[in-house]
Amino acid sequence: METLWGSKRGTPEGDELDILATLLHNYEEVNFPIDSDSDKLDQLAKEVLKDIKAGKLKKTDC
């Protein structure tokens, strides 16, 4: 993949890179799924940022 990185779309090299990237992505999703704890952490971070923007929290409170 490293030698194909930066290849333009629509070229044979770009198509090969796209296929390899898709295969790698699917492999990682099956073999290394992101657990729900990280989803919960993402949701918490979004809520904190929302509260900061709404003035309910200050950055120094976090």
pLDDT tens, residue by residue, 7-47? 999 999 999 999 999 999 999 988 887 766 777 888 888 99
Q: Measured between alpha carbons, how far is residue 60 from residues 34, 35, 49 in Å?
A: 30, 29, 12
Q: Which residue has the tokens 């790698």?
A: 24
Domain count, the chain: 2
Do residue 10 and residue 23 come from a single domain? yes
Do residue 3 and residue 27 come from a single domain? yes
Do residue 9 and residue 22 come from a single domain? yes
Q: Which domain holds residue 17?
A: 1-31
Where would I find the H helices in 1-62?
12-31, 36-53
pTM of whole model > 0.75? no
Fill in the amino acid letter for 7: S
**pLDDT value of position 3:** 94
Do residue 27 and residue 45 come from a single domain? no
Rg of the chain in Å (alpha carbons)? 20
- Is the dihedral angle over the CA atoms 46, 47, 50, 52 positive or is it negative? negative
